[in-house]
Amino acid sequence: MQKITPFLWFDGKAEEAMDFYVSIFANACVLEVLRYGEGAPAPAGSVMTARFVLDGQEFVALNGGPMFQFSPAISFVVNCDSQREVDRYWDALCAGGVPNRCGWLQDRYGVSWQVVPTVLPKLLNDPEPARAQRAMAAMMQMTKLDIAELARAHQGK
């Protein structure tokens, strides 16, 4: 069992969200679904919690009710080695959701994600300030991140 597990609060859509995420990520699976029993604060037989794994990271989803909502203040970063991977995760996670700037999006359940090429920190941390600033300026204009465009801006082309 991992030491720290993200725990996501949903309003009746925990199982649906889990199935959505498991369909997107590699090495993903459902570990366990617990259902409310008689006398619980939700209908008997409805999903209470769902444990699942996305690419080696375990998550728990809870159907806790409408009291809490997700916020972009917490997000999950998806590190991508290629534009193809960026495109795949972006398109899948953003389906029915809301795109935002700089590779951020909120999925259809309100969970925030950052779909980020692994090369981005190298571009933004370039020891030559002008190159890093050009990459940052290009990123700030983007919704879904474009590796080729970030590289061109970094090089001043």
pLDDT digits (tens, 9 = 90+) for 109-146: 999 999 999 999 999 999 999 999 999 999 999 999 99
pLDDT digits (tens, 9 = 90+) for 73-107: 999 999 999 999 999 999 999 999 999 999 999 99
CATH of range 1-68; options 3.30.450.40, 3.30.720.100, 3.40.50.10800, 3.90.1150.10: 3.30.720.100
Alpha helices in the chain (DSSP H): 14-24, 83-94, 120-124, 129-140, 147-155
Say if 1-68 and 70-157 have the same CATH topology: no
- Indicate the average pLDDT of the chain: 96
Which pLDDT does position 41 carry in this prediction?
85
List the CATH code of the domain at 70-157.
3.10.180.10
Listing DSSP states for 74-87 in one string gives SEEEEEESSHHHHH
Which pLDDT does position 1 carry in this prediction?
74
Q: What are the residues whose beta carbons fall under 8 Å from the beta carbon of 100, sequence distance 6 or more? A: 72, 106, 143
- The domain locations on the chain are 1-68, 70-157
Instruction: Name the pTM for this structure.
Output: 0.94
